[in-house]
Amino acid sequence: MKALFIINNRLLRTGVFVLLLLGAYPLFSVAQKTNPASQAVPKKTSRVFYGQASFYANKFQGRKTASGELFDQKKLTCACNVLPLGTWVKVTNLRNGRSVVVKINDRIHPRMRRVVDLSKAAAVKLGYVSRGLTRVKVEVVNKNEAP
């Protein structure tokens, strides 16, 4: 009988504590004051990716890309699976700091884990043709900043 009283007493105390806690919650909650002007201004978000870059083999010269354009090793273009076709991106070689602005006009094979696959002209500007691969930073660029 005493054990039953202790169990009931514990349940009662726990229940009362929970009720008090829930009842007092509005007293302890602090309303956040927000400035409507600060909510109206959207934050500028920049899409940045890091990873490996390669460049197209010569066998792709003149073939049709995913965007419908013919591939040209002499143009500043690239393939990318993450961003939409037609997007302009700034690709920076993290080894030497060189950068180039290119247009995405193709897709990479889904199994390839590279961020971008550049044309040979872009790879030459970045200075990694002899290596074949390099670590890069890829940033989305405004149309106004693109050539």
| Cα 72 to Cα 91: distance, rounded to the nearest angstrom | 18
pTM here is: 0.65
Cα angle 92, 55, 64 (rounded to 5 degrees) comes to 120
Per-residue pLDDT averaged across 137-146, rounded? 80
In CATH, what number does 48-140 get?
Answer: 2.40.40.10
Q: Which residues pair with 25 in a beta bridge?
A: none
Give me the pLDDT at residue 66, please: 93
Instruction: Average the pLDDT over each of 6-10, 33-37, 102-106, 132-136 and give the range with the smallest value.
Output: 33-37
- Is the pLDDT at 115 greater than 60, yes or no? yes
Per-residue pLDDT averaged across 44-63, rounded? 84
Which sequence spans correspond to the domains of the chain?
2-29, 48-140
Cα angle 87, 90, 94 (rounded to 5 degrees) comes to 140
Q: Work out the pLDDT band at 56, boundaries 50, 70, 90.
A: confident
Give me the pLDDT at residue 104, please: 94
The answer to whether 75 and 119 have CB atoms below 8 angstroms apart is: yes
Q: Work out the pLDDT band at 23, boundaries 50, 70, 90.
A: low
- Is the pLDDT at 64 greater than 50, yes or no? yes
